[in-house]
Amino acid sequence: MDILFRGGRVFTARGDLGFAEAVLVRDGVIAAVGTEADLARAAGPHETVDLDGGLLTPGFTDAHIHPVQAGLERAKCDLAEVYGLDAYVAKVADYATKNPDKEWVDGGGWDMSAFPGGLPHRSQLDFVTRPVYLIQRDHHAAWVNTRALELAGITKDTPDPADGRIERDADGTPSGVLHEGAMDLVGLLTPRPSAQDQEAALLEAQRYLFALGITGWQDAIVGSYAGSDDQLPTYVAAAEAGTLKARVVGALWWDRTRGAEQIEDLIERRKRSVGRFQATSVKIMQDGITENFTAAVLEPYCRCGGTGLSYIEPRALNGYVAELDRHGFQVHFHAIGERAVREALDSLEGSDPANRHHIAHLQIIEPSDVPRFARLGVTANLQPLWATHHAQMDELTIPFLGEERSAWQYPFADLQRSGARFCAGSDWPVSNADPLQAMHVAVNRTEPGSSVHAGYPTAQTPFLPGQRLDLATALSAYTAGSAWINRSPAGVIEPGRPADLVVLDRDPFALPPQEIWTTKVRMTFVDGEAVHGT
């Protein structure tokens, strides 16, 4: 039976068409786009979806997300929905009480801004006699108790790994925070999830993402990282079983402890692509984050010195990327600091734009590097939700970047003016997975009104307002742009495309910009089948 979507507006994400009145779907495929009258005449026996004044858009594609890890964390000690030391301690105590048979108390979601200097302490978790391992919201650090350090054999004599740092008290004793590669010293000791746990996490994440209108994504780390297990078997099994309904690309993890010899392994892993899961991208994490001074910057951080970490030596990186490009892999970079962004761009000089390489996060870009995205055919993968005045930005980032470099952060409008192509993602569970919240920030550069941290004094002061995007650009990044990165046939509403569609409860284009965040998803369709809402 045909489906006729009518009674509102249609955002096609096709630049030459813009908006339409109605969409006709037949056999899971978009059959026609046009006026209500024309499509009503063209329809056979059909059901009608009344948009009720809302907006129909292509399904959203999240171009940088970690669903399996998010699903696992939601089933563990989940701190993401609370804030502050007292709340975290209460959550940990409650979890430990309700799970007396668990060997470890593990989970995550704590925010650096809740602690002076961004650093909690092991003593705050020592009321739990079992080992505790809690991943920071950004997944670049872990908070552990003394028992966990003892089990891992970490003492004041333990050296920092090459790609991380053990935070220490004044006398050299480990304080209970493990940054970057140091996380594995404890994380790999935590209980391993079973194949059933991983599958359940994926399907729970898929259900949640469908409720947010997300019909496809790129999993930004498919492999073993920060104590998590390889998700490749999970995706393959779900795709083969038909339970994976979203369109997914897996970014295979580049092991920074190895070199070019792993490319043959990646080629073999790519061969396991099946159905709706395609392992055609490779994730290279080139640096850390600004808040713990591991983001790679050009000039030393203010007050603390140091220029961060380049996880892969730039000359070696150039060779690795050239070889990956030659084998037809897409390269998906993590780059936060301006030096890491430059190193990623340098490595992509001469690469094939047809491989659709992209750089995610892009917190700081030295202005002379902005035009290189368009020139090299490299897509800017935006995480808009971070571009606000929030506690972590104002207290842990700007003071250490300095005035000039702070003004280089999240330069979305500069990238747009230079002709860069956009895709967008959330980095969930690092931050909220809701694309509409992210679009709100892209347009306003302020915190969404529903944000947990909206009460922060400067949350509604626009952050570098000259870098705002218009709503059509932000929405296109989350639809056509991210679908293009994934080589997905969806992402645009036009005849012949899969009917991956989202019905919004209102038309955000008709709202004052500061109210975009109030928009909700009513229904989500994949191949014309309702996967959320009725």
Query: Six-digit token pair at 320?
Result: 């690795």
Residues composing the chain: 534
Looking at the domain 193-485, which fold is it?
TIM Barrel (3.20.20)
Query: Six-digit token pair at 199?
Result: 């599958």
Query: Six-digit token pair at 525?
Result: 């369709």
pLDDT of residue 456: 73
Query: Six-digit token pair at 485?
Result: 């990165």
What is the sign of the dihedral through the CA atoms of 269, 218, 254 and 378?
A: positive
Q: How many CB atoms lie within 10 A of CB 467?
A: 20
Task: Write out pLDDT tens, residues 458-506.
Answer: 788 999 999 999 999 999 999 999 999 999 999 999 999 999 999 999 9
pLDDT of residue 440: 98
Shared fold status for 2-59+494-532 and 193-485: no
Task: Write out pLDDT tens, residues 343-396.
Answer: 999 999 999 999 999 999 999 999 999 999 999 999 999 999 999 998 889 998
Q: How many CB atoms lie within 10 A of CB 121?
A: 18
Instruction: Tell me the C-alpha to C-alpha distance, in Å, between residue 382 and each of 263, 296, 387.
Output: 27, 18, 10
pTM comes to: 0.91
Q: How far apart are CA 196 and CA 371, in angstroms?
A: 46
Backbone phi and psi for residue 347, each to the nearest 5 degrees, phi listed first? -70, -20
Parallel, antiparallel, or unpaired: how do β-strands 141-144 and 46-50 relate? Answer: unpaired
**How much is the CA Rg of the chain, to the nearest whole Å?**
23
pLDDT of residue 452: 53
Domain ranges in the chain are: 2-59+494-532, 193-485
Q: What is the CATH number of domain 2-59+494-532?
A: 2.30.40.10
Q: How far apart are CA 173 and CA 170, in angstroms?
A: 7
Ranges in the chain, pLDDT < 70? 450-455
DSSP code for 274: B
